[in-house]
Amino acid sequence: MQLLISVVDEKEAKSAVDGGADIVDVKNPREGALGANFPRIIRRVRQNTPSGLPVSAAIGDAPYKPGATALAALGAAVCGVQYIKVGLYGTKEVRQAIFLLKEVCQAVREYDSGIKVIVAAYADAHRIGALPPLASPSVAIEAGADGCMLDTAVKDRTSLFSHLGDDELGDFVKNCHNRGLLCALAGSLGEADIPRVSKIGPDIVGFRTAACLGDRIMGRVDAEQVNRLKDLIAASKFPLCNQYRATGSAVQGVPH
């Protein structure tokens, strides 16, 4: 299980790298759960992160505007990232989500076929009227995307586990893996959630608040906090097959 740390600039990226992050994820929490950062910042993070360490970028809690979303995805691709995350915030129907994601995938792959498109759905979709999260693997396959992530849209005192149970999350992970999709879990997770997440078996687990000194917006990613998360993941017990998935071709096929 790989550790993804969300950062807001190149200084935080250095702390994430120093702490042992497997993936550096660029976002702007001031603009939402999957808020998009500025191209200049994404480029600087990529330029200042070791070349062998993958960088991902969120392109926003996307409204149902396929053209604008595809253009944003292409902008992130040009910045040199290996993963692009699309938040299905404004899509309420499966057909909308598929159409939007098909356009994103086409825009990205015409530029660089090696970049992975990740469908980010919200465990608390019922609170915002978005696409049900457990529908995302079938949508990803139909659209030609490479993986799925679950996050939370509303950042209050709830977390991923406040909205979906272990069995539901386990089915989500199995559904992704059975379809050959990369699978990630995030959503206001804390240190205490790591053993529980490990048992569920995603390829990637994502953090921001738990990696910060302070909150997700005003706080700053701290190398020691990241290292603690890394150690807790290493200490947690999870099936050998998931260790293989986390280090196998599905993940190493890009320069998460």
Q: Which residues are catalytic?
A: 27, 85
Give whole-number Cα distances, 255 to 4, 6, 22, 238, in Å.
Answer: 15, 18, 11, 25
| Residue 51 per-residue DSSP state | T
Sheet strands (E) in 113-203: 116-122, 147-151, 182-185
* Torsion of the alpha carbons at 184, 106, 80 and 10, rounded to the nearest 10: -50
| Residue 134 per-residue DSSP state | G
User: Beta strand pairing status for 182-185 and 204-207?
Assistant: parallel
Task: Check if the beta carbon of residue 87 is closer than 8 Å to that of residue 32.
Answer: yes
Phi, psi of 205 (to 5 degrees): -125, 135
Per DSSP, the three-state class of 107 is helix
The residue type at 249: S
